[in-house]
Structure 1
Amino acid sequence: MSQKRSPWLNLVLILAVLAFVGFSMIPLIGSIFEGNEPTAGASPAATPTISSEQQAKLEAEAKGYELVVQREPNNTTALRGLVEARLRLGDIKGVISPLEQLAKLNPDQTDYVILLAQAKQQVGDREGAAQAYRDVLASEQGNMNALQGLVSLLVQQGRPEAAIGELQKKLKTAASINEFQPDTIDIVGVQMLLGQVYASQKRYTEALTVYDEAIKSNEQAWRPVLAKALIFKQQGKTAEAEPLFTKAISLAPAQHKDQIKQLATPSEQPEPNSSSTNEKPELSEPLPTVSP
Structure 2
Amino acid sequence: MPQSKPQESPARKLLNILLLVVGTVTFLGFSFGPLFQALGPSESPEASLVTEQLRAQADGYRAVLEREPDNPIALRGLIDTQLQLNEPQGAIEPLKKLVELEPENRQLRAFLAQIQQDTGDLEGALEQLQILHEKDPKDSQVLQELADVQLALGRPSQAIELLENYLKEVPEDNDVRLRLAFIYVRNNQTEKAVALYDEMIAADPSDFAPVLGKAIALSSATDENLRAKAPELFEQAARLAPPKLREQIRQEAELSAQRNQPQAVESQETAP
Q: Verify same fold: TM over 0.5.
A: yes
Aligned to 2:55: 59
For residue 77 of structure 2, give the secondary structure of its aligned residue in structure 1.
helix
Whether 2:4 is the aligned partner of 1:8: answer no
Query: Take 1:157 and 1:192, find their aligned partners in 2: how far apart are those partners?
Result: 20
Letter of the 2:23 partner, please give it.
L
Whether 2:237 is the aligned partner of 1:244: answer yes
Contact 2:35/2:111 (CA < 8 Å) preserved in 1? no
| Cα root mean square deviation, aligned | 3.6
Note closer, same or farther for the CA distance 1:136–1:11 as it changes in structure 2 (3 Å cut). Answer: same
1:214-229 matches, cutoff 5 A: 214-217=200-203, 221-229=207-215
Letter of the 1:27 partner, please give it.
L
For residue 27 of structure 1, give the secondary structure of its aligned residue in structure 2.
coil
Letter of the 1:238 partner, please give it.
P
Aligned to 2:96: 100
Q: CA deviation at 1:141?
A: 1.9
- TM-score, normalised with respect to structure 2: 0.67
Structure 1 gaps, min length 5: 36-47, 176-185, 250-256, 273-292
Q: Identify which of structures 1 and 2 has the higher relative contact order when contacts are C-alpha pairs closer than 8 Å and 6+ apart.
A: 1
Aligned to 2:179: 193
Aligned to 1:171: 167
Structure with larger Rg:
2
Q: CA deviation at 1:231?
A: 3.8
Q: CA deviation at 1:201?
A: 3.2
Whether 2:35 is the aligned partner of 1:27: answer yes
Contact 2:167/2:176 (CA < 8 Å) preserved in 1? yes
- TM-score, normalised with respect to structure 1: 0.63
Flag as ranges the 4+ runs of structure 1 deviating above 6 A: none
For residue 23 of structure 2, give the secondary structure of its aligned residue in structure 1.
helix
Q: CA deviation at 1:164?
A: 0.9
Identity %: 27
Q: CA deviation at 1:26?
A: 5.8
Note closer, same or farther for the CA distance 1:157–1:146 as it changes in structure 2 (3 Å cut). Answer: same
Query: Take 1:74 and 1:188, find their aligned partners in 2: how far apart are those partners?
Result: 42
Q: CA deviation at 1:134?
A: 1.0
Query: Take 1:217 and 1:141, find their aligned partners in 2: how far apart are those partners?
Result: 26
Query: Take 1:107 and 1:152, find their aligned partners in 2: how far apart are those partners?
Result: 23
Letter of the 1:119 partner, please give it.
I
1:267-278 matches, cutoff 5 A: 267-268=254-255, 269-270=258-259
Structure 2 gaps, min length 5: 1-18, 221-226, 262-272
Query: Take 1:127 and 1:158, find their aligned partners in 2: how far apart are those partners?
Result: 12
Residue from 245, 251, 264 that aligns with 1:259? 245
Per-residue CA distance 1:215-264 (angstroms, 9 max, x = gap)? 44555654323323444566462123212321234xxxxxxx31234322
Letter of the 1:270 partner, please give it.
R
Residue from 108, 111, 129 that aligns with 1:133? 129
Question: How many residues were matched structurally?
Answer: 229
Query: Take 2:130 and 2:22, find their aligned partners in 1: how far apart are those partners?
Result: 30
Per-residue CA distance 1:87-113 (angstroms, 9 max, x = gap)? 343433322222123334444431211
Aligned to 1:254: none
